[in-house]
Amino acid sequence: MNVTPATVRDQREWIHERADVIVPLINRVRDDLGDQFGTEVDHVTVDAYRREVDAVFADGDLAVNVAALVGLLRSLDVTADYPGFVVDELLGRELAATIAGDQPLRVLGEATFHFADATTHDGPAGGGDDGDDAATGDGAGADDLDAALAAGFQTRLPGWEWRERESPFGVAPGDCGQG
């Protein structure tokens, strides 16, 4: 694989145009996680998703890594699929974490990838095995790619109440607790 600036632009465009699959998956994951944790989570719009794709790809160092991982997953196939289970999971988890950002979002992106991946097997975004998946037909990495994009972007986008408030664990400069 040779990743060039043109490759990065092409992958950005592909991810951008995948909004019709990824945004519904993000919102389904948010609904399911909200139910699990007893909270309401805002849905993501296509425009918000695309703006965040643009933000990820505006950072060249981040963009080249996301583009490379996407390219690998788009082209990954393994004869009989199951032997490739580990590599597509590894690449998907890393892509979700890379998109999600620094800690603690990185680990949340990884965890959310596994949650999303459980609902996206057997075809594009969990839609059944119709032979038209995220890559080019039926590659082993296709469902993991959709799950990774959904997990990474849903993690970095606003909508979770705990992310909308200031953390009670921050310590202000000069606040050493003496007194």
74 in Cβ contact with 136 (< 8 Å): yes
The first and second tokens of residue 80, run together, are 């009989």
Burial category of 38 from C-beta neighbours within 10 Å (exposed 0-12, middle 13-18, buried 19 and up): exposed
Note the pLDDT of residue 100: 97
- Selection from 113, 77, 119 nearest residue 98 by Cα: 113
* pTM of the model as a whole: 0.84
pLDDT at 114: 92
Which helix (DSSP H) or strand (DSSP E) does residue 52 occupy? helix 46-58
Q: Which residues of the chain register pLDDT less than 70?
A: 81-84, 121-138, 140, 176-179
How many residues can be counted in the chain?
179
Task: Check residue 109 and give its pLDDT.
Answer: 96
Q: How far is it, in rounded angstroms, from Cα 168 to Cα 155?
A: 20
d(CA 128, CA 122): 5
Provide the greatest CA pair distance for the chain: 67
